[in-house]
Structure 1
Amino acid sequence: MESQKRQEAFKAIEHFMLQREKKAKARDVISNLTNREEGWNITQLHIVSLINEFPSDSNNSFLSEQLGLSKPAITKSIKKLIDRGVVKAEKKEDNLKTIYYTLTNDGERLAKVHDELHEKVKGQYNELLHQFTENELDVIIRFMNEWAKRI
């Protein structure tokens, strides 16, 4: 069972990576997952994963809150995902004001690949973090959180 410190360290690393990508606008993290020439960025992949996990909740507000990104940033990523045929925008019968997102078959496939890769990376981080004591993990957590603030 993972310790609370290792879970916190993983969250700090994940947060750091999201912050880094927001500033650097990293592209082409994963290429050709659905036979398209252009790659996918981390934000797009996280959005697809969240829509897959929470299909009835997935609107701009929900995605913005879950990822810690602005609504305009979510809108920009969603537009690209719609254009690439992995996400569909729909309104619910009981709420015609809010747009909700669902995945196409390609989107479901992309979410599956992303989630598998995410679990693999999480395993690699956990293996790495098991080398550190609780006190060392405190330092890593503090360091990663402080580094993310400066990006």
Structure 2
Amino acid sequence: MNKEDQVIMHFRDLFNKMVWLNKSKMEESLKGHTPSEVHCIEYIEKHADSNVTKLAEAFYMTRSAISKITKKLIDKGLIESYQKPDNLKEIYYRLTAQGKVIFNIHEELHSEFRERDKTVFEQVTDEQFDLMLTFMETYSRHLDAEIKKQDADMQSE
């Protein structure tokens, strides 16, 4: 197996282990909320003037799929929609007080997971972090370009 394959395999393995380790605690603490709903809540709280288009782009989902999620979140009383006086065409979302509770639970869980994994990160030098971040940013830009190509190909069909 070449090094590229090893890196990809290790990324997948690492991601799957994190998901497996975090899953039961997340499900227990955030009962009744799907991962997609929780991540939409997180995005809305962290990004001002979130709308269907921004959410769809962030999660690589269709606007239709995001619309269904946001409708569920509104029905659950976790988000509310609003419009700006200067742009009545666009609908934006913000968290309700109940939505902020879910957001805070999710943030606390992430802090707990970071604390659990702290010993590993304490051993990483700044130079190693910089190398890893540079690689991930480069790879991410490459994948963004591939996604754009695929979108363009799909639209021209």
* Structure-2 change in CA distance of 1:127 and 1:47 (3 Å): farther
Q: Which has the higher helix share?
A: 2
| Alignment match, 2:36 | 43
Mapped pair 1:85 → 2:82: no
RMSD between superposed Cα atoms in Å: 3.6
* Structure-2 change in CA distance of 1:73 and 1:98 (3 Å): same
Structure 2 alignment gaps of length 5 or more: 1-6, 133-157
Letter in 1 for 2:27: I
Q: Which has the higher contact order (CA 8 A, sep 6+)?
A: 1
Percent identical: 32
TM-score scaled to structure 1, two decimals? Answer: 0.58
Deviation at 1:84, TM superposition (A): 0.4
Structure 1 alignment gaps of length 5 or more: 1-7, 21-25, 139-151
From 62, 70, 80, the counterpart of 1:70: 62
From 99, 102, 126, the counterpart of 1:107: 99
Aligned residues: 115
| Alignment match, 2:89 | 97
1:6-41 deviation digits (Å, cap 9, x = unpaired):
xx99xx56xx56xx9xxxxx9xx53575xxxx6111
Deviation at 1:120, TM superposition (A): 2.4
SS of corresponding position for 1:85 = coil
Identify which range, 109-118 or 119-128, moves more after superposition.
119-128
Letter in 2 for 1:57: D
Task: Indicate the structure (1 or 2) with the bigger Cα radius of gyration.
Answer: 2
| Structure-1 separation of matches of 2:115 and 2:65 | 29
Please say if residues 29 and 105 of structure 2, whose CA atoms lie closer than 8 Å, have aligned partners that are also in contact.
no
